[in-house]
């Protein structure tokens, strides 16, 4: 499903040896495959084709302008959660009628920006937000459409606690019984409440989680219809899984999940309701890798420690979520094949000697690590390691902690590599602070 393979022992992104990328752009560096992004979008579109939904890629998962433009060119809309993401979406060329604005804490300025831009739909998370939307829209002389984000009290036991959003103990959405009164016709001067939105978390491995929430949505729509409240849109959010380890590829599970959801929603479709989905990681996660170079190798009390030039400021997921990414040297003997097959076979056979190794970064935090006690083949100082499945919530969560500049991003298509974000310099780190020195 993705385009990362070993050829004669060297990792390639599509048809380009990653050594060329490191030689040209340095390390650490994020690298994305254009064909993987396109293919994943196509697979997801096909999986939900029976609903003909508006697909709005989640900008927060991978927010680089060039990647957003690539997906927009494939026909994707965009799901944004801030004024900054809305600015990115518009710069990427998406039309406003394919933008959905979500998020629990929209400021008055963000709402005004979105109203003036003419975004298609607002996903509303509180009564107070509805009142603010109505006020801003009235002042602007605009009429806007809204979907109420429902908290259905549905959670998947296999979704990590920090990314589960459909349960009653989270900050997201409005409890169903409290939400009914918000759908009353003519309640607001400039707001039409025409949709129901859910987002249950990410990743969600079981289709049954979606189906349980859809059952509640259908009951809600039936109750609203009895009070003359018409629903035009159902937005089932995203959260579809991606492959982070050597487990079986999720293409089949996504196709199966899509088919089950489409089948369950056919009754609502026949009633004229339209659908929206907001995928993120299922499109971008396996489209990106992080290349990082080993600076030092030392022996700890119990095992080898490899210190690399990327840290938690570059890839936060292992520290924040306990995320488990496959890590492997970009040069691995003379084998050829897909990265999952090679890493899996090496871990289960005598292909190579493996040693328990900690992969850690240079940040002054104990939690700055990518793997602890990981069985890995031998490598030396200067070796380049690939951290796989970093295309979602990798660069978009990067920071300048410890005054370390964020890395460059490179997009590969075929044999061509295009720099889509420059590496931050020391000057970039302080540019917004010079005003304080100038006014001293």
Q: Return binding residues for pyridoxal 5'-phosphate.
A: 239, 278-281, 393
Rounded to 5°, angle at Cα 405 from 410 and 63: 45
What element of type H or E holds 376? strand 369-377
CB neighbour list of residue 9: distance below 8 Å, 6 or more residues apart:
331, 332, 333, 334, 335, 336
Half-sphere exposure of 436 (CA within 13 A, CB side): 4
Query: Considering all CA atoms of the chain, what is the largest pairwise distance in Å, rounded to the nearest integer?
Result: 71
DSSP string, 301-313: SSSEEEEES--TT
Phi, psi angles (nearest 5°) of residue 27: -145, 145
How far is 49 from 412, CA to CA, in rounded Å?
Answer: 28
Beta bridge partners of 374: 357
Residue list, annotated binding site for substrate = 281, 317, 321, 365, 393
How far is 47 from 55, CA to CA, in rounded Å?
Answer: 12
CB neighbour list of residue 81: distance below 8 Å, 6 or more residues apart:
59, 60, 101, 102, 103
Q: Please give the C-alpha separations between residue 211 and each of 91, 179, 198, 371, in angstroms, as whole numbers.
A: 36, 20, 12, 35
E-strand ranges in 257-362 read 274-277, 288-299, 304-308, 327-329, 337-338, 354-360
Helix runs in 27-167, H state only: 34-47, 65-73, 83-91, 108-117, 127-140
DSSP string, 393-425: SSGGG---GGG-PPPPEEEEETTEEEEEEPPPP
Catalytic position from the list 62, 364, 390, 435:
364
* CB-count burial class (<10 Å; 0-12, 13-18, 19+) for 269: middle
Does residue 56 have an active-site annotation? no
Q: Mind telling me the catalytic residues?
A: 364
């Amino acid at each position: 499903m993705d385009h990362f393979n070993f050829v004669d022992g060297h990792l390639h992104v599509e048809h380009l040896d990653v050594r060329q990328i490191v030689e040209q752009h340095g390390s650490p560096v994020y690298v994305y495959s254009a064909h993987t992004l396109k293919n994943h979008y196509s697979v997801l579109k096909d999986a939900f084709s029976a609903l003909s939904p508006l697909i709005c890629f989640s900008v927060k998962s991978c927010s680089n302008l060039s990647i957003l433009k690539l997906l927009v060119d494939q026909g994707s809309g965009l799901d944004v959660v801030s004024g900054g993401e809305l600015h990115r979406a518009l710069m990427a060329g998406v039309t406003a009628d394919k933008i959905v604005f979500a998020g629990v804490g929209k400021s008055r300025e963000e709402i005004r920006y979105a109203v003036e831009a003419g975004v298609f739909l607002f996903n509303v998370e509180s009564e107070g937000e509805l009142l603010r939307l109505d006020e801003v829209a009235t002042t602007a002389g605009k009429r806007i459409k809204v979907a109420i984000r429902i908290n259905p009290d549905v959670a998947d036991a296999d979704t990590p606690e920090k990314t589960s959003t459909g349960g009653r103990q989270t900050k997201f959405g409005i409890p169903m019984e409290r939400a009914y009164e918000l759908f009353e016709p003519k309640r607001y001067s400039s707001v039409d409440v025409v949709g129901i939105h859910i987002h249950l978390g990410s990743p969600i491995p079981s289709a049954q989680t979606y189906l349980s929430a859809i059952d509640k949505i259908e009951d809600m729509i039936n109750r609203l219809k009895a009070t003359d409240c018409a629903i035009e849109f159902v937005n089932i959010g995203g959260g579809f899984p991606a492959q982070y380890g050597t487990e079986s590829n999720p293409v089949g599970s996504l196709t199966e999940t899509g088919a089950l959801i489409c089948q369950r929603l056919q009754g609502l479709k026949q009633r004229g309701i339209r659908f929206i989905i907001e995928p993120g990681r299922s499109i971008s996660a396996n489209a990106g890798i992080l290349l990082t170079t080993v600076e030092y190798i030392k022996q700890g009390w119990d095992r080898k420690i490899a210190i690399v030039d990327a840290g938690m400021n570059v890839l936060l997921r292992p520290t924040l979520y306990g995320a488990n990414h496959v890590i492997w040297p970009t040069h691995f003997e003379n084998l050829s094949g897909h990265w999952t097959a090679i890493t899996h076979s090496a871990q289960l056979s005598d292909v190579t000697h493996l040693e328990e190794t900690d992969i850690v970064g240079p940040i002054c935090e104990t939690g700055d690590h990518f793997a602890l006690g990981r069985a890995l083949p031998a490598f030396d100082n200067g070796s380049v390691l690939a951290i796989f499945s970093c295309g979602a919530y990798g660069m978009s969560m990067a920071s300048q902690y410890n005054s370390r500049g964020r890395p460059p991003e490179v997009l590969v298509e075929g044999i061509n590599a295009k720099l889509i974000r420059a590496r931050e310099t020391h000057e970039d780190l302080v540019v917004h602070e010079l005003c304080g020195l100038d006014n001293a």
